[in-house]
Amino acid sequence: MAEKPFVLSMKVVVRDDKGRCLLLRRSASSKAHGGKWDFPGGKVDPGEAFDQALLREVVEETGLVISLKRVAGSAESDLPLRKVAYLIMEGRVQSGTVRLSSEHDDCVWVEPEKLPAMDLCEQFLPFARSYASATTV
């Protein structure tokens, strides 16, 4: 059997001016992880730069314009047809107010140390623990 291909997906820990992190709750109708909290982001389209893909996804999912500050970490998941490698960035809100797309049904701003206690998609739990222990406002 052939190896499953890897796809790249981008995620971002969006921080506000109080240092809180934005989480989005996946709609119950989501193909995967319905009802779980997630970081904004998504797949990189063919030919698209990964940072531009992430900025596009954030606007589509939240209505926010952000700036990217640094690489915050990584994660991976093993799906039936492919493996997903997640590159997780940290960003700051530049403008806008949260306006959710149909992919999500709620949002919350939480302090970094509270990330591991949230009902996150399981592939992001190790990252959340590491980020929470290493992050200051």
Domains of the chain: 6-134 (3.90.79.10)
Q: Mean pLDDT, to the nearest integer, of 67-90?
A: 95
For the cut 70, the answer to whether the pLDDT of residue 8 exceeds it is: yes
Contact 37, 23 (CB under 8 A): yes
Q: Mean pLDDT, to the nearest integer, of 46-55?
A: 95
Query: In the chain, how long is the greatest CA-to-CA distance?
Result: 50
For the cut 60, the answer to whether the pLDDT of residue 137 exceeds it is: no
Single pTM value for the model: 0.91
For the cut 70, the answer to whether the pLDDT of residue 1 exceeds it is: no
56-74: pLDDT as tens digits: 999 999 999 999 999 999 9
Work out the mean pLDDT of the chain and round it to a whole number: 93
Predicted pLDDT of residue 84 = 94
In order, the DSSP letters of 45-108 are PTT--HHHHHHHHHHHHH--EEEEEEEEEEEEEE-SS-EEEEEEEEEEEEE------TTEEEEE
Pick 27 or 15 by higher pLDDT: 15
